[in-house]
Structure 1
């Protein structure tokens, strides 16, 4: 029966994700019968819900392009000089065929997943009573949080530079499983809808087991079914939604609001033992290095193909025109010539074989012990970001330096001088902290940095503006507006 339900869930996921943008939510009577069969019991509902997470780790979303590939290339994290197609992304040549295809696929998969989420929410309403209210709230809260996250990242990629003019048209917003394309709305209005979704998700997730039992093993009334209690850190949980809210508030320029939420999360972690800083010996363990600082992650995605992607992008056996790696001088500058930084030592090494003279990226390399809980995980939202948000939004510079020093101490670095510039130091930490996670380009865009270091040259910067920061809407959207 379980295998049958898995197949049915997969059929629905494929049906919803495989057809074109204008009609992929048309439901035939046969589809409705199939839906009723899937939602007739709890196991079927869980399988469809889990399909959302499977979609999130697709190559077009957080399984590759929005974490370690396209968005990192936009952030100038790698030297793409010898890679003919990827160099077009690095130079922001969005009208060229390869970038157009990449960003069209991101858009299409992102919105199909949003509409899949909406269809799931509607189906839950139609089949109310299959699970208890407590379980239903968890499923709905996660799904609405995912919907908000996807809209936000579509906004960050394709929307205008918010700091310059949030009133400009951005992207469409979907909160129902409609068949017609929705109009573009302004970035400001979209942020309001995203924040409303996040508040709704927080209300539904207020009894999330992660708050009382941590992210792996819960001891709650949900114990009879581990789908709701185990591995909460691999779900869009309450704390992940809180952190996402801080991220959105900061993006919108609400520093006071972002500071309050980030500090709330930080204070929660101080009051529990659930999210400790990852110690040096765990991060740099010779056989099983925890390069993703998993104890600090509020939300990570599990991707069983992660190590295949590591080899496809970063393996030392790849040809120079294929490997994603930075110029050594650029990487040295990022880590300020300090290999004792926990983020440098285990994740960046000159390989002993393969003929490479530059350091290559090991962050997502497999470890020896296959039972390690952090295996196959891609970090999505982490404690360090809350400290960076708290530092950036602190009303007193000394408080900002204190937050930065806490992060630095837990990465093996010395304290900053009291006279250090908070903005400069926050930028440095974004460059070090989130390599392979897709956050640096969005940071540059949020602060509207007028230049960024040229990743494909040993020195020099690239001038940035709307032509570089705003990915054009793909033809599949423009043609339906």
Structure 2
């Protein structure tokens, strides 16, 4: 039974009829609530449905990880002319032109997917309060509710990072924070301070519901992933693929850094780094072991990731990855130049650096015979079967590398900054790169590190935005606040006009 359930949890979530029933956006009626949430399994299906929606290509499965988000940060080397590419949404996003119909449609799809996920999380929260007694184990009930609050906070933070004002900027924007159970309801709109207060409240609620109830307080991530060494309810396995307690703390650190609360972000990051279970770190940075085994997405350091069994299949259509049987096409494929790759890794030892050595395919050629480079993060040997779902086929959402960078940026101690830097670079197999001579030396390294560490993971635009960076690398035009603020879809109420 355990093995069957594991298979359902990791793979069938992308095709199970019970979850598909949940994903149908149906009218919110009391009768359908009673039907869906009349059993514990109904709650399980609903929660898995939330993660399925997050993994959709319209949101974190592609557009907010690999394609649209990275075009917003000007990371892909797209053709100079619009007429030379079929990737029009990315082209408009790279030029921060949100007025074209293609860009507007893309923005609408992302916005709808974010709030679709939020509406599903809200439905779980509502029904745990009203019908949660059908879940006999109170710890599982608490974890399900905590994960729902965390999912809502995760998506609402990205609404702020995409559509909200630049932190500390002059242009003010009010945004919706949804606690309703229907995507058709108009939620209240909040200014920046009010919105952040709602985020913090949700994160605090998630923490309070998960603390001491989440199996990560008793068992390691590895044992929970094995499905055999952690004697817990089957639904409580695979915590790295769910918003577990430590993932919520990582989200908290990310949010605090984005809102400018660096000292608090540092403190949360250090709690995660210092956390121990039976004398061992709860989670550590990925090192040589991951890369020599071909685990390019750093599964050992992933605090939260989305299972996505077919990510290599569809990402090959625009990334190529390591598949040399696909002919490079400049109109369709997302690549960079060798010069850009060199610029990404300026200042580090590329002969040793494991990310540089394993994350890139430099064997492409354009029609003129010039080299092109693409990332191989989402590509693996198709003959690999063992550990495919756990180590290869997923979207990383929160990683320890980000936690170390947050701690480095937030510390006021040069000694601590260099200690964190040393551990970080050792995990990258580049221990000889010198540390910081002063705290002022951190800014350039950290900006470059976000670019290279999270390439094709969707974090660089948000880094530029929180810093109000005036000139993005590889952008021919200076950035403005308007360029950093995506407009709300025309279909939505907009008090900012």
Scaled by the length of structure 2, the TM-score of the pair is 0.86
1:272 and 2:280 are equivalent in the alignment = yes
1:349 paired residue number? 361
Q: After superposition, where does 1:28-177 map in structure 2 within 5 Å? A: 28=29, 32-81=30-79, 82-83=84-85, 85=88, 86-131=90-135, 132-165=137-170, 168-177=172-181
Gaps of 5+ in 1: 17-25, 456-460
Query: Is this contact kept in 1: 2:488–2:494, CA < 8 A?
Result: no
2:215 paired residue number? 209
Structure 1 position 339, deviation (Å): 4.7
Q: Within 1, Cα distance between the matches of 2:290 and 2:222?
A: 18
1:138–1:222 CA distance, 2 compared to 1 (3 A): farther
Q: Within 1, Cα distance between the matches of 2:423 and 2:495?
A: 49
Query: Is this contact kept in 2: 1:303–1:378, CA < 8 A?
Result: yes
Structure 1 position 282, deviation (Å): 2.9
Q: After superposition, where does 1:261-300 map in structure 2 within 5 Å? A: 261-268=268-275, 271-283=279-291, 285=292, 288-300=293-305
| SS of residue matched to 2:378 | coil
Cα deviation digits, residues 145-168 of structure 1 (max 9, x gap): 0000100001000001012258x2
Specify which of 361, 366, 372 is matched with residue 358 of structure 1: 372
Structure 1 position 352, deviation (Å): 7.1
Q: Within 2, Cα distance between the matches of 1:51 and 1:348?
A: 33
1:278–1:479 CA distance, 2 compared to 1 (3 A): closer
Q: Within 1, Cα distance between the matches of 2:370 and 2:220?
A: 41
2:4 paired residue number? none
Q: Within 2, Cα distance between the matches of 1:339 and 1:237?
A: 36
1:378 and 2:398 are equivalent in the alignment = no
Q: Within 2, Cα distance between the matches of 1:468 and 1:480?
A: 19
Cα deviation digits, residues 223-257 of structure 1 (max 9, x gap): 453111x1100000100000110111111111121
Q: Within 2, Cα distance between the matches of 1:474 and 1:237?
A: 32
Q: Within 1, Cα distance between the matches of 2:378 and 2:483?
A: 28
2:492 paired residue number? 477
Query: Is this contact kept in 1: 2:273–2:283, CA < 8 A?
Result: no
Specify which of 20, 37, 40 is matched with residue 10 of structure 1: 20
1:23 paired residue number? none
Q: Within 2, Cα distance between the matches of 1:356 and 1:38?
A: 56
Structure 1 position 478, deviation (Å): 3.5
Query: Is this contact kept in 2: 1:275–1:295, CA < 8 A?
Result: yes
Structure 1 position 274, deviation (Å): 4.2
Q: Within 2, Cα distance between the matches of 1:426 and 1:380?
A: 19
Q: Within 1, Cα distance between the matches of 2:436 and 2:495?
A: 54
1:391–1:357 CA distance, 2 compared to 1 (3 A): same
Q: Within 2, Cα distance between the matches of 1:234 and 1:256?
A: 29
Q: Within 1, Cα distance between the matches of 2:21 and 2:130?
A: 20
Query: Is this contact kept in 1: 2:76–2:335, CA < 8 A?
Result: yes
Specify which of 326, 329, 332 is matched with residue 319 of structure 1: 329
The total of aligned residue pairs comes to 458
Cα deviation digits, residues 72-121 of structure 1 (max 9, x gap): 11111111114251211110110011111111110011112111111122
2:409 paired residue number? 392
Q: Within 1, Cα distance between the matches of 2:123 and 2:201?
A: 19
Q: Within 1, Cα distance between the matches of 2:36 and 2:16?
A: 9
Q: Within 2, Cα distance between the matches of 1:220 and 1:264?
A: 29
Scaled by the length of structure 1, the TM-score of the pair is 0.89
| SS of residue matched to 2:177 | coil
Q: Within 2, Cα distance between the matches of 1:222 and 1:34?
A: 35
Structure 1 position 396, deviation (Å): 2.4
Give RMSD over aligned pairs.
2.6
Query: Is this contact kept in 2: 1:155–1:170, CA < 8 A?
Result: no
